[in-house]
Amino acid sequence: MLEPVEAIEGLNVKEAINEIESLTEKHNQWRKKECINLIASENVTSPAVDKIYVSDLGHRYAEGKPFGRHYQGLQFVDQIEDLTQKLAKQLFCAKHVDLRPLSGTTANLSALGALTNYGDTIISSSIPNGGHVSHTRHGVSGLIGIKDFSFPFNIDEMNIDVDATKKKIEEKQPKVLLFGASLFLFPHPIKEIADFAKPYGTHIIYDAAHVLGLIAGNQFQDPLREGADIITTSTHKTFPGPQSGMIFGNSDDFEKIETVVFPQVICNHHLHKLPAMAVALEEMTTHGEKYAKQIITNAKTLAQSMHELGFNVVAENKGFTESHQVVVDVSQFGGGKPVAELLESMNVILNKNFIPGDTVNSDTMRNPRGIRIGTQEMTRMGMNEEEMKMIAELMKKALIDKKDIKGEVIDFKKEFLEVKYC
């Protein structure tokens, strides 16, 4: 018989639930109605996605692929997943799609787990130069025992150094080149490197988590046509779908990846996300080009406006950005941590971030030089160039003029409460 767990002093279950419900409502009010959300890895789903997201599918279980399950009771689930896969194949011009990963990280784990063996070598972007933790020994690479080396990086170009990378490929003969990044201002040079790497038996994976919506809107780059074998991605950043993951591509090795997705990485894949993903795919098929264009226009406008107001915006010589992201060196204000915390207190939400060239140590991990700003969510809420200029002005008031802008932010956001591009 189980021994009773010692009661937590002062905890009343009903009061705890009431408090949780109250905190949830407070969060909804604050983040949805009173904040300027500039986190580069977030977005909001449409009312149509929200409506279909909650259903009986959230109670059910499916192992395997459509029409080949290990459980009964899935005749409608099979059809839903099959149709959603077809929508994704059509939007991204891909032969194969797997919707089962639960995040971009599990997609990376599945692809790398399928295409490498213990002790193999990969080349990916280092964390200071934009790479996601799942690309490195601190994440997936370390978990499955593969050796990760970093792409050489050209700080002047704010991108991967092509010539130095070719030399590294000759030296390391990697099993995988993993393109894509978490700090991602400019398209990566896939086509300049892929043909060179293929004779070494190297697989090309592209992590599109941050830029999937820009790719869907034909505004960033086309990785599959530029030489990538496999795309791994999350589905909730510039692509405004439910929080999840996806793998797609044209590789003959795709079936190998699918057998790693299930049963090695994922069992049930949260079926309620499938119809929600289908709606998001339709929205991006219909509105994706216009949405992606405005995201990038907004990012460029915000970067230029902040530059003109005295901020040290990264990559001035390259036009600041070709994506949804703007990166600012805020060392003059004490670094990314105090800046992000100060702005949060005034309802402007963004994150501290390394800037390429930073040295990683305990101090810079806590307080890197930069902040990373994303325009995708506020674009989806209807903001355009004029609003980006206003956001730049608000940040100037807060950081340069040392004024409290919280009331202005709340009043400003009241005009942008309806999701667009849907």
Mean pLDDT of the 28-48 span: 98
Instruction: Give per-residue pLDDT as tens, 209-254.
Output: 999 999 999 999 999 999 999 999 999 999 999 999 999 999 999 9
- Backbone phi, then psi, for 27, in 5-degree steps? -60, -50
Instruction: Give per-residue pLDDT as tens, 59-110.
Output: 999 999 999 999 999 999 999 999 999 999 999 999 999 999 999 999 999 9
At 295 the pLDDT is 98
Mean pLDDT of the 120-131 span: 93
Residue with tokens 């070494």: 200
Tell me which residue of 290, 401, 262 sits closest to 342, measured CA to CA. Answer: 401
Quote the pTM value: 0.96
Mean pLDDT of the 297-320 span: 98
CA–CA separation, 352 vs 182, rounded Å?
13
Tell me which residue of 420, 396, 181 sits closest to 283, measured CA to CA. Answer: 420
At 10 the pLDDT is 79
CA–CA separation, 263 vs 260, rounded Å?
6
Q: How confident is the model at residue 9 (pLDDT cuts 50, 70, 90)?
A: confident
Tell me which residue of 381, 45, 380 sits closest to 240, measured CA to CA. Answer: 45
Q: How confident is the model at residue 364 (pLDDT cuts 50, 70, 90)?
A: confident
Residues of the chain with CATH 3.90.1150.10: 287-413
At 1 the pLDDT is 56
Cβ–Cβ under 8 Å, residues 207 and 135: yes
Q: What is the CATH architecture assignment of 287-413?
A: Alpha-Beta Complex (3.90)
Of 149-163, 223-237, 304-318, 357-371, least confident by mean pLDDT is 357-371
CA–CA separation, 245 vs 364, rounded Å?
30
Cβ–Cβ under 8 Å, residues 123 and 169: yes
At 58 the pLDDT is 97
In angstroms, what CA-CA distances link 12 with 8, 16, 43, 93, 387? Answer: 9, 6, 35, 54, 46
Q: How confident is the model at residue 138 (pLDDT cuts 50, 70, 90)?
A: confident
Residue 12 pLDDT exceeds 80: yes
Residues of the chain with CATH 3.40.640.10: 50-281
Instruction: Give per-residue pLDDT as tens, 155-164.
Output: 999 999 999 9
Residue with tokens 């990264």: 314
At 360 the pLDDT is 81
Residue 368 pLDDT exceeds 90: yes
Hey, what are 9's tokens? Answer: 């002093």
- Backbone phi, then psi, for 352, in 5-degree steps? -65, 155
* Long-range Cβ contacts of 254-260 (<8 Å, 24+ apart): 254/95, 254/96, 254/98, 254/230, 256/114, 256/115, 257/98, 257/110, 257/111, 257/114, 257/115, 257/230, 258/65, 258/98, 259/114, 260/110, 260/111, 260/113, 260/114
Q: What is the mean pLDDT of the chain?
A: 96
Residue 26 pLDDT exceeds 70: yes
CATH topology of domain 50-281: Aspartate Aminotransferase; domain 2 (3.40.640)
Instruction: Give per-residue pLDDT as tens, 377-401.
Output: 999 999 999 999 999 999 999 999 9
Residue 6 pLDDT exceeds 60: yes
